[in-house]
């Protein structure tokens, strides 16, 4: 499968391992790295881009990247994203 470019991206420099994104994602696309005590993005292709993970993150460490078709269709300048 082509590499999935959309979905949540976690800034591990800021992530404090609180588990909120992992616990609260409606679609359950996050995994959990037990060794590092940090979330992982296991199923980005199933992301509905709802951005709940962004608003529940206390460290603003999650950024949901929109897919190309959404960016172009919604009139977002691609340069702003890529």
Distance between CA atoms of 48 and 74, rounded to whole angstroms?
16
80 binds another protein (CB under 8 A): yes
**Chain mean position to CA 79:** 20
The CA distances from residue 43 to 3, 28, 46, in Å, are: 11, 8, 6
Query: Nearer Cβ to another protein, position 18 or 24?
Result: 24
71 binds another protein (CB under 8 A): yes
52 binds another protein (CB under 8 A): yes
Least distance to another protein, CB of residue 9, Å: 14
- The site for another protein, by CB under 8 A, has a size of 33
């Amino acid at each position: 499968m082509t590499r999935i470019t959309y979905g949540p991206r976690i800034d591990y420099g800021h992530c404090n391992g609180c588990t909120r994104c992992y616990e609260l994602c409606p679609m359950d696309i996050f995994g959990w790295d037990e060794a590092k005590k940090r979330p992982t993005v296991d199923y980005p292709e199933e992301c509905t881009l709802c951005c709940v993970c962004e608003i529940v993150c206390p460290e603003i460490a999650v950024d949901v990247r929109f897919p190309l078709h959404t960016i172009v269709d919604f009139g977002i300048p691609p340069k702003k994203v890529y």
